[in-house]
């Protein structure tokens, strides 16, 4: 479930990046790389788990699925936080800098 949530987020993010490409003013490419990187890693984890459990891998209990969904959403939230903090630090449009200068 965590893998699925991350893959969906990575695909949506990639579509948003593609719409604005090649400009990438919002640095969406960084978020895409982060989510795709995590998706690949969880995919490997899933393959090893499948090799160990076999068909049992797909029989997930409802409570476990809910917990995995909660984890997946939390992972996306963390990825978004990392992305927004990086965006504000790098400040490609100079908006944060301009706002601070205006206040002073």
Partner 1 sequence: MACFTVPVAEAIVTTAITKIVKSKEKAGESSSKGEVMKVKLSEKLSWLNKMLLGGSALLAFEHVWHGEVIPAFPFLTAVTNGETSEMLHEMGTVGVTMSVLVTLVWVGMVAISSALEKRKTEDTVTMGGVRS
Binding site for partner 1 (CB under 8 A): 2, 6, 29-30, 33-45, 47-48, 71, 74-75, 78-79, 82
Q: Which two tokens stand for residue 78?
A: 């963390």
CB of 59 to partner 1, least distance (A): 20
CB of 26 to partner 1, least distance (A): 15
Contact 90, 27 (CB under 8 A): yes
DSSP 92: T
CB of 104 to partner 1, least distance (A): 32
Q: Which two tokens stand for residue 7?
A: 């893959």
Contact 17, 24 (CB under 8 A): yes
Q: Residue 37 or 99: which CB sits closer to partner 1? A: 37
């Amino acid at each position: 479930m965590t893998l699925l949530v991350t893959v969906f987020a990575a695909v949506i993010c990639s579509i948003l990046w593609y719409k604005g490409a090649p400009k990438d003013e919002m640095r969406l490419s960084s978020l895409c790389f982060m989510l795709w990187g995590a998706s690949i890693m969880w995919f490997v984890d899933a393959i090893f788990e499948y090799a160990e459990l076999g068909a049992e891998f797909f029989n997930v209990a409802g409570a476990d699925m809910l917990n995995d969904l909660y984890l997946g959403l939390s992972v996306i939230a963390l990825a978004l936080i990392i992305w927004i903090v990086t965006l504000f630090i790098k400040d490609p449009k100079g908006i944060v800098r301009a706002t601070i200068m205006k206040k002073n």
